[in-house]
Structure 1
Amino acid sequence: MQRLIIERLGHKGDGIASDPVIGQIFVPGVLPGEEVEGVVEGGVMAAPKIVTPSDQRVKAPCRHAKACGGCQLQHAHDDFASTWKTDVVRRALEAQGLEADIRACITSSPQTRRRASFSAKRTKKGALAGFHKKGSDVVVEVPDCQLVAPVIGAALPLVQDLAVLGASRKGELSVLVTQSLTGLDVSVTGGKPVDTALREELGAMARKYGLARVTWDDEALTRLPPIQRFGAADVTPPPGAFLQATPEGEAALLAAVRDALGPVKYVADLFAGCGTFALPLAQDARVHAVEGDKAMTKALDHGWRNAQGLKHVTHEARDLFRNPLLPDELDKFDGVVIDPPRAGAEAQVEQMARCKIPRIAFVSCNPVTFARDAARLVANGYALNWVQVVDQFRWSTHVELAAELEYKG
């Protein structure tokens, strides 16, 4: 047995302690300042006993917290989690020599996640559906999950039925369940191939559960268009398309984007998805939306064409990693929104750094790549005015943000 004092949390949420012989030791489920005791193997204390708890420790609000690997910070007070995520952003900026006003973290409420990817396996008695145990392929049932919206949690019997219907005994289904205005939108991967019998049973299941759409690998069965509303536009995303995790989180990011852009007249929305930002911004400005997925740009365009009162929105299917917009294309905009995936947007930012775009609203799900990209812009005449931290993924280690960059010359 060994006693340790937890110094800090790592980026995956595990506590980190130091040992003069072993070096860093990782301890799950702890908080900085806590004294813990347990067996250390391979640099990990897998089952710590809390000897001296932190005053930031709370009782986990979900009864599945110990078994389920979906959340990493349920044992931490909300104030601690917000401060920790803000510090993650601050440290990422400091590593690039950047300073900015970091606004208070906006955290989504419990039971507001409008999409979840469940795992499901067939069993001798039926099926098992839920999330994976931490660091394991074991599926843990989560009937009282405090993270997802109630309508998503209530879909677990559907997920089990899908596993009975189309999972092999040795395989595992991945079932993405998304809330839409017209019913659940369900996308299944990892199952047996679609044949006539499976197609008919999926249709019956869609009727039984009132699903808007069910997609099995690449084959979609649609009862009703699974509508998402972006501003004044109703959009039907392609199966599995990106969607902000919570309505509150989406609203916070959109508000930050509007604030960052100010009263612009012509905006480029890069990595636009299905129009999360482009369509609401079109209430006041012309927008050119650029997205690598043609199905998403088609959905965005259809939504715009069927909405009322929006300014002109053009779209372009373009791989911004391999074919970024160049300065002569960017110079006609008086504002740019950019919301890249976790890898960031190094190639596109390189071109933006050669321009004099008055305002950039930068949205990111990775503070490290954001700081790298922001530093490139700052080195070329932009000021990083502020950063808004947004916590859509409550009780997780995931951090999102939006920021304003202004060209100063």
Structure 2
Amino acid sequence: MSHLIERLSLRGEGLTADGITVPLTLPGEEIEGAAADGRIPSPRIVTPVPERVRAPCPHYSGCGGCALQHASDAFVADWKMQVVRRALDGQGLEAPVRPIVTSPPETRRRAVLAGRRTKKGVLIGFHARASDVIVEVPDCRLLHPDLLAGLPACEDLTSLGASRKGALALTLTRSEDGLDIAVAEAKPLEGGLFAELAGVAERHDVARLTWNGELIAERRPPRQRMGRAFVAPPPGAFLQATEDGQAALTAAVVEAVGSAANIADLFAGCGTFALPLAERAQVHAVEGSRAMLAALDAGWRRATGLKRVTTETRDLFRRPLLPDELRKLDAVVLDPPRAGAEAQVEQIAASQVPVVAAVSCNPVTFARDARMLCAAGFRIDWVQVVDQFRWSGHVELAARFSRTGPVGR
């Protein structure tokens, strides 16, 4: 049966007019294939569009790690910018959208791989699309070469700690000091397993190894550069996916707050923005994870030439900062998870804060929160789109809001 692809979903998969999902297709293409459960898993492209290109990665046809390698870079860049514009338009908002900043291939410094034991040995890689099948990716065009160099360590860890029934989740993070590996969904530490795992870390020169949340070895603190500071995040902690992406978002945040002397960084994580901002301003960093704030504080104390950074452990979804607490601030940085920051934005809207630097990994919740700010007298000065999840449907952005109307609502 023939189908026409009308648009892409937010995951980067083709959609027909009647809502059938068709991976590896582009808008305007005519395809054939049998649908099952609302999906055509193996389409035949009858009429390709000019934006279709040969995928650069040899694993792409089977691997589920990427969704858009069959599209030209120009198409993906334009599509991601349109995702942001449509999200804003859906809330009745307009804003200048700056050209996208895209991370180069082979720069992903953090990834979660799957590891499974087999009759013949082990499998390490990404899951295939909509499947629990693991596809090996020795020539991956997405991951930094330092992550690929860690595959032999992952094989040894999987051989020791995976069952034949389930798969390990291996989070690999590239650091200034070597590979940081956090293993989850693994066998419990019984018998001599702890010593064997420590031996793997030694043999493969792993900076840090954790197993189901328990530290096995820390041969060197796995530090990340954040401005002038170096921070060793907790195992598995959030980190921007590429150094280029982090640099682009940081530059946008620094530009957005301008000469602000007193800043709150909300959902601060380990200090991605707080520590670079401390080069010119006092910063109050608020985050729900005590361990992440401890890493931020340790990085600040070891750095030189930074202004004062204070920290506060606080669940901003349940206990957002109130207008009285925001009263003396010159700017607020807001970098929430995908759910957005509706409760906190409501308090900012009712406050006297003049400038907001917003960072988001979800254009839909960003636009929802932006509407609340604009209704309270803010305007969106600009939006910077950032693509650090290359060849995926993920879109990130930073934006500057400045107050033009009366305070509060």
How many residues are matched? 404
> How far apart, in 2, do the equivalents of 1:119 and 1:43 lie?
27
Matches within 5 A, 1:173-184: 173-184=168-179
TM-superposed deviation, 1:153: 1.3
- 1:32 alignment partner in structure 2: 27
> How far apart, in 1, do the equivalents of 2:213 and 2:16 lie?
47
Local SS of the residue matching 2:20? strand
- 1:207 alignment partner in structure 2: 202
Local SS of the residue matching 2:320? coil
- 1:4 alignment partner in structure 2: 3
- 1:317 alignment partner in structure 2: 313
Q: 2:269 aligns with which of 251, 270, 273?
A: 273
- 2:36 alignment partner in structure 1: 41
> How far apart, in 2, do the equivalents of 1:400 and 1:53 lie?
29
- 1:304 alignment partner in structure 2: 300
TM-score (norm 2): 0.97
Q: 2:167 aligns with which of 169, 172, 181?
A: 172
Local SS of the residue matching 2:147? helix
Q: Which amino acid aligns with 1:11?
A: L
TM-score (norm 1): 0.97
Q: Which amino acid aligns with 1:278?
A: A
TM-superposed deviation, 1:41: 3.4
> How far apart, in 1, do the equivalents of 2:279 and 2:233 lie?
20
Q: 1:365 aligns with which of 361, 364, 379?
A: 361
Gaps of 5+ in 2: none
Matches within 5 A, 1:4-403: 4-18=3-17, 23-195=18-190, 197-220=192-215, 221-403=217-399
Local SS of the residue matching 2:344? helix
Q: Which amino acid aligns with 2:120?
A: K
**Greater CA drift, 203-212 or 241-250:** 203-212
Gaps of 5+ in 1: none
* Backbone CA RMSD of aligned residues: 1.0
> How far apart, in 2, do the equivalents of 1:119 and 1:60 lie?
23
Local SS of the residue matching 2:371? helix
TM-superposed deviation, 1:168: 1.3
**Greater CA drift, 275-284 or 165-174:** 165-174
TM-superposed deviation, 1:268: 0.3
Local SS of the residue matching 2:311? strand
Local SS of the residue matching 1:7? strand
1:54-97 deviation per Cα after TM superposition (whole angstroms, max 9, x unaligned): 10000000000010001000000000001101111111101111
> How far apart, in 1, do the equivalents of 2:316 and 2:383 lie?
24
Among the aligned pairs, what percent are the same residue?
59
CA 43–225 in structure 1, closer or farther in 2 if over 3 Å, else same: closer
Q: Which amino acid aligns with 1:147?
A: L
**Greater CA drift, 156-165 or 282-291:** 156-165
TM-superposed deviation, 1:191: 0.9
TM-superposed deviation, 1:42: 3.7
TM-superposed deviation, 1:182: 0.7
Q: Which amino acid aligns with 1:181?
A: E
Q: Which amino acid aligns with 1:100?
A: A
TM-superposed deviation, 1:196: 5.1
Q: Which amino acid aligns with 2:20?
A: I
